[in-house]
Structure 1
Amino acid sequence: MVTSVVGVQWGDEGKGRIVDYLAQKSDVVVRYQGGDNAGHTVENPYGKFALHIVPSGIFNENTVNIVGPGCVVNFQTLAEELDNLPQGLKYNILIDVRSHVIFPFHKDLDGAEENSKSEKDKIGTTKRGIGPCYGDKIARIGIRSGDLLLDDETMKAKIAKLLERKNKELSMYGMKTYSADDVFSLCGKWRKRFGDRICDCLPILKKAVDVDKEVLLEGQLGIMRDIDWGIYPYCTSSSTTAGGACA
C-alpha cells in the first residue's frame, strides 16, 4: 500500500508525528519534494532529531529511505544529518539519480535576490538555495545527483557550462564567483561519500508496489506552499500536494 502524508495548510500541521509513526511500519519511505529548507522533528528512544532532507524512516534498519527525484539535495546537509544519527545505527538511504544538486552558489544567489527586494516584496526565503536550484532544473541546465557519477572530463564540462551563467548572475549582485576546479573538487568529495548510494530508485519502488509493501511518501510544508496551488509567490518551489508525490 502507498500512503502519502500531505499538509493541508501552510506547514507545521503535525506531519512530523504522523510520518514518524507511519515510518516505523513502512518498508520504504520516500522524500518526494523540497530540500533542506524545512523538515520534520522526530523523537524516539535515541533522542530528538531535526531531519531536513533525510527521510523519517532512517531510524528503522529494515526501511529503505529514498531521497526522490523531485528533491533538491544539499549533500553537505545530508552528510551532517547522517553524521548526527546515533552511533552504530545501521541505516539504508538512497538518492535518486534524477534529484538535483544544491551548490554554494545557489545559496548565495538565493540570499542576494531576497536581499535586493524591498521589505514588502520579500518572499521570506530560507536562503538555502532551493529556489535557484529548482530554477536551474526548470531551465534544464542543472546538475543532477546522477551526474556526480560521470567521468571527470564530462563532469568538468557540465560544471563549466553551468558556471558560465551562474557567475554572471553572481557578478550582477557584486558577489564572488566560483571556479570550475573548486566546484569539481566539491563534487568529488560528495561522490566519494555518497557514490554508492546514488542510483535509479524507480525499479526499487516499482518492485515494492508490485509485492504490496508499505510505501510512505513524505512531503514537507503544506498545500498552501505549493508552487501551483499555494499563495504564489509566497510559496516554495516544488509541488507539495499528493499529485506532486505521485509524480
Structure 2
Amino acid sequence: MNAIAIIGMQWGDEGKGKIVDFLSEDADIICRFNGGNNAGHTLLVGKEKTVLHLIPSGILRRGKTAIIGNGVVIDPKVLLEEISTLEKNRVKVSPDNLIISSNAHVILPPYIDIDKEKGGSIGTTGRGIGPAYMAKAARTGLRMGQLAGKEAFKARHGGDYFYKEYAAYAEKLRPYVRDTPPYLWEALGRKNVLFEGAQGTLLDIDHGTYPYVTSSNCISGAIPSGLGIPPKSVESCLGIIKAYTTRVGNGPFPTELRDKTGAQIAKAGNEFGATTGRARRVGWFDTAIARYAVQLNGIDSVALTKLDVLTGLGKLKLCVGYKHKGKLLGHFPADGAVLEEAKPAYETMDGWWEDISAARRLSDLPRSAVRYVDRLQELMAVPISIISVGPERGQTIVLRKEFLF
C-alpha cells in the first residue's frame, strides 16, 4: 500500500493520533483533509505528551512532510501557537516539512464569536469551525492564499478590528502557504502517503447523528475534495475504533453507561477531550456503529485501540444491534429520533484481569481478550490489523502487516 486513509469509526477520540504517529515511521507524507482545531490528537512519545489540533501527527518524526489540505479551516493564531509549542519541544517545523494549502479557509474572530453565542445546544467546541464552513459555502470566506497575499487581505479586511493582528500572522505563515494538489499529484504512487482524518464517522455533517455533528465531512469520501486528488488515489482505508464507545457533547448514545462501570472505564481511559477538556460519555462497544462505518468508508482493516482499558471489568457487553418498537433493526438508523428511542441488544462475554499493556503479540493476551478481539472481527466482518494496548508508540500489536505500508 502507498496511500492509506485513517478514519475514525465512532464519534471521534478513537486514538487516530497514536495510530497515525505509529504508521508515520513508514510514511513520507501525512495529510489533514478536514476539520479544524476542534480536533485533538494526543501523542505520547516516551514521557513527552503532545496534543495537536491542526498539524498532522506525522510532524513528530524527522524527514516527514505534513500537509494541511484545502478541506481544513485554519485559525492562524492557533496554528502559530502549535508551531511554537512543537519547537519548544525540539520538533523542527519549517516550510520544508509543513505545507499549508492556499485554498484552506481562515477562521476569523467574528466566526468564533458567533460560534460561542449560538453553538451550545449541539455541543460545539466554540472555535469558529461551523461559521468558517458557512462562510466558505456562502462564498464569503477568506482563503489562506488571500491572507498571505497582503493586498488581497487588506482589500477585504483592512478596516476590520482584527486586521493588524491577522496581518502579523500572515507574515509568519506566508512561507508555508502553497498550491498543494500538484505537490500531491507528483508524490502519489511514488511515496507513502497517510490521510489523517479528524473527528469520526458519526460526526460527519451528512452521515453522522445530525444535528449533533461537526461542520465537515469526516468519512473517506471527503479525502479527494479535501486535498484535491483523484478518488482512486486512496488505496486502502484503515478504520480506528475503541474497544468501547465514547462521545463528547449532546446527542443519542444507545450503549451509554451511567453507572460505576462507565465511571471505571472513563477513569481508566482518561476520557477527557484533548481539545475541550470536557468529560466524554462512555458506553459499551456498538457493532451497529462499527458495521455502518465499515460500509460507509470502505474500510479494509481496523485498528482496535484502548483494549487495555477494559482490564478488570469481569464481564463485557457487546451491542450486536438495536431494538425499536419491538423490532430488531438490521442497520444503523439514519433517523436520529429512532436512534434516541432504540435499545441495544447485548451479548455478554467474559473479561480479563491481567495487565495487558506490555503485550506485543496476540499470544501475549489472555484468552478472554483474544476471544473478545475475535468476536469483534466476526461482527464487523473486517480483519483487525492493529491492537493498541496503551498510549505509547511501542504499546502496539501488529496482526496484519499486509494492510499497512
- Compute the TM-score of the two structures, normalised by the length of structure 2: 0.52
Q: Deviation per CA, 1:141-178, whole angstroms, max 9, x where unpaired?
A: 000001013242x3223226xxxxxxxxxxxxxxxxxx
Amino acid at match of 2:192: E
Identity percentage over the alignment?
A: 40
How far 1:183 moved relative to its partner? Answer: 2.5
Structure 2 residue aligned with 1:21: 22
Do the aligned residues in 2 keep the contact of 1:37 with 1:126 (CA within 8 Å)? yes
Whole-Å Cα distance in 1 between the matches of residues 28 and 13 of structure 2? 25
Structure that is richer in helix per residue: 1
Structure 2 Cα separation of the partners of residues 49 and 101 of structure 1: 24
**Higher relative CO (CA 8 A, sep ≥ 6), structure 1 or 2?**
1
Deviation of the 1:227 alpha carbon: 0.5
Indicate whether 1:94 and 2:99 are aligned.
Answer: yes
1:125 is aligned to 124
Residue 108 of structure 1 and its aligned partner are, at CA, apart by 0.4
Instruction: Give 5+ residue unaligned stretches, structure 1.
Output: 116-121, 161-179
C-alpha spacing 1:123/1:181, structure 2 compared with 1 (3 Å): closer
* Contact 2:40 2:53 survives alignment (8 Å): yes
In structure 2, how many angstroms separate the alpha carbons of the residues matched to 1:114 and 1:238?
A: 15
SS in 2 for 1:85: helix
> Helix, strand or coil: the match of 1:221?
coil
| Aligned twin of 1:165 | none
Residue range with higher mean Cα deviation, 74-83 or 39-48 = 39-48
Q: CA deviation at 1:46?
A: 6.9
Larger deviation: 37-46 or 22-31? 37-46
CA separation of 1:129/1:214 partners in 2, compared to 1, >3 Å: closer, same or farther? same
**Contact 2:148-2:171 within 8 A present in 1 as well:** no
* 1:107–1:127 contact (8 Å) kept in structure 2: yes
For the pair shown, the structure with the greater C-alpha radius of gyration is: 2
* Equivalent residue, structure 2, for 1:199: 178
Contact map agreement 1:46 1:86 (CA 8 A) in 2: no
1:210 shift after superposition: 3.8
Q: Which residue of 1 aligns with 2:133?
A: 134
How many residues are aligned here?
Answer: 220
Residue 209 in 1 paired to residue 191 in 2?
Answer: no
- 1:22-61 superposed matches below 5 A: 22-45=23-46, 47-61=48-62
2:352 paired residue number = none
| Structure 2: runs of 5 or more not aligned | 226-405
**SS across alignment from 2:12:** coil
Give me the whole-angstrom Cα distance separating, in 1, the residues matched to 2:86 and 2:119. Answer: 33
Equivalent of residue 113 in structure 2, options 92, 104, 108? 108
Higher-strand-fraction structure? 2
**Is residue 234 of structure 1 aligned with residue 212 of structure 2?**
yes
Aligned-residue Cα RMSD (Å) equals 1.5
Query: Match of 1:245?
Result: 223
Equivalent residue, structure 1, for 2:304: none
Change (3 A) 1:142 1:59: same
> Structure 1 pair 12/89, CA: closer, same or farther in 2 (3 Å)?
closer
